[in-house]
Amino acid sequence: MKRLSDIKFSTLDLVPVRENGSAAQSLRNSLDLAQHVEKFGYNRFWVAEHHNMDGIASSATSVLLGYLAGGTSTIRVGSGGVMLPNHAPLVIAEQFGTLESLYPGRIDLGLGRAPGSDQLTARALRRERSGSADDFPDDVAELVRYLGPRTPDQRVIAMPGTGTNVPIWLLGSSLFSAQLAGERGLPYAFASHFAPRYMHEAIRVYRNHFKPSAVLDKPYVMLGVPLVAADTDEQADYLATSVFQRILALMRGQSLVQRPPVKTMDGLWLPHEREAVMDFLGLAMIGSPQKIRAKLDVLVEQTQADELIFTCDLYEHADRLHSYELLAQVMKG
């Protein structure tokens, strides 16, 4: 049985843009966060591909990863994830092959099958490509071939890319990628930071379908976890109202720019909206280190996860840094 001190811990940064802020400042904050969590002992730092969202500045994921890897020295950096239906596999192989060539042994390629955007934006991204999620298994296989050793009859190569064997992860918020990751013997990251309802079932499907591969001899599960850590429970509850407002805006189709915390959410949401936000954040770790430690002990006992990746979208950058520092102290026991 795993204990909390046995678990690797990582960071998923959505590169949030503040109200009256700028993308440039958000990108600088992302690097500063990566540099801090590297010192705190975090295992990896991932950013996610989103499009047409004014509150998220990580759309050009591979470009951002070069900036982050160049400004750090030991922490793994990667995509959590690249939305593969938006791209030709060869393009992703070349981008991540380039990153791996520049920063060997530090690059992860997490793949998702969702568009990471609305349908209108998806069409603008893809133009003549169908970009169907149904193509995802074949696209993953093609990408694996490009990043693997070159074969004598291979007519199309990724350069850089071929022979780099960049580690590929499958990401998901449903059961499809869980089964596929198991069948392909790949590590699996479940998006429990926004879809906690299916977490246990997805883990079960992944482990039941797992077949050993050249990459893994046994299943490897990473879980996404929302984080708001502060010195006291009361301070954490206050800071969390920024997160609540962001999720509420997402559900309403409104601007996702970060809003400052408020003393109370009363009057800002309706009862059914509050319920929906809390369901979305069902796995959230909100509180003092003591409270978070107790909740994490339960999560690890119930899931036996191999790694936890935390996302923390607080209004003040300093509060985010402090939150990740407190968590590192909890994880290290």
Task: Return the bridge partners of 56, or none.
Answer: 16
Three-state secondary-structure class, residue 246: helix
In this predicted model, what pLDDT tens digit does every residue of 257-307 receive, in sequence order? 999 999 999 999 999 999 999 999 999 999 999 999 999 999 999 999 999
Question: pLDDT at residue 65 above 60?
Answer: yes
- Other CB atoms within a 10 A radius of the CB of residue 305 amount to 21
Task: Give the N- to C-terminal CA distance of the chain in Å, as an integer.
Answer: 16
* Residue 131: predicted pLDDT: 55
Amino acid in position 152: P
CB neighbours of residue 12 within 10 Å: 25
CA 291 to centroid of chain Cα atoms: 24
How far apart are the C-alpha atoms of 129 and 29, rounded to whole Å? 34
What domains are there in the chain, each with its CATH number?
4-226+305-331 (3.20.20.30)
Q: Is the pLDDT of residue 64 over 90?
A: yes
pTM of the model: 0.94
Least Cα distance to 15 among 1, 2, 29 occurs for 29
Residue range 234-247: mean pLDDT, rounded? 98
The encoded tokens of residue 186 equal 């790949």
Q: Is the pLDDT of residue 133 over 70?
A: no
Residue 313: pLDDT band (50, 70, 90) is very high
Q: What is the mean pLDDT of the chain?
A: 94
Give the separation between CA 243 and CA 255, rounded to whole angstroms: 13
- For 22-82, the DSSP string reads -HHHHHHHHHHHHHHHHHHT-SEEEE----S-TTB--SSHHHHHHHHHHT-SSSEEEEEEE
pLDDT tens by residue, 6-36: 999 999 999 999 998 999 999 999 999 999 9
**In the chain, % of residues over pLDDT 70:** 95
